[in-house]
Structure 1
Amino acid sequence: MELKMISTFFGKQFVRGITTTACACGKRNFKKFPIYNKRGTRDFKARQAKNPNPEVPIHTYGTRPIGYKAGSAFVPIPELIPEIIVPDLTGFKLKPYVSYRVQDIVQPPLTPEELFGAVYVKKIADDFKAGKLDSDNQPLEPSPEERLTAEEAKKKVLAIRSDIV
């Protein structure tokens, strides 16, 4: 703690201040002030690089060592190096986890108009514009969608709706 005297317009005032900076190039009580890898002054880091102080451990931030130090050289052990194995998820049917906090998505039931619009309208409009309809307004070249039965078309639209959501 230091005590300073300041002269002002109103006279002399005493100001008490507390300094929290370290003095003497980082010489500290190492048990009271832990200095991990990036902390400390440049001079302290330079001294630690040349002649490490055993009272100041090298902080590993929770990682496990992958080898040992033999003299000044580090010897890695291949069995200690973690190997991350990631499975191939192409064609995986399950969807990612969804939290219970997500609001429910409510879809109205599928109407016949929506089914007709999703499966048949585009092809019928294209055939009409190109003049590819016969006298009964049936397509001259029916597409695979036009050959579907009612149940197959409904399954297809429900699959499309579930992919969108």
Structure 2
Amino acid sequence: MFSRGVRPVGELVGKKYEVIPERIPQLVVPDLEGFKLKPYVSYRVPDVVQGEFRPQDLFHAVYSQKIAEDFKAGKLDEEGRPQEPSEEEQLTPEVAKAKALMIGSDRF
């Protein structure tokens, strides 16, 4: 029996092919009743070209504004650390790396 690139949904038991219900793919489709957008994207949509998101870009997106505000308000200690650190500033290097590597992060 040739499957031609399709995963089998059962197995041969003796001479009989038995279907295993857990192997049958199930499509989960949302109910789009009342949804106002059309189900396609026009070919006239302009291309989006986005460069690589580098560590420097991440720093500017997450930390730079808070650091500048703390500096202007005098909320840094003698070593330049914030006296009132934000949630992101309290992360350990290991936790920050784990969050960066999570599914959905911008790492391709």
Shorter-chain TM-score category? 0.3 to 0.5
Structure with greater Cα Rg: 1
- Normalising by structure 2, report the TM-score: 0.47
**Higher relative contact order, chain-length normalized (CA < 8 Å, sep 6+):** 2
TM-score relative to the length of structure 1: 0.33
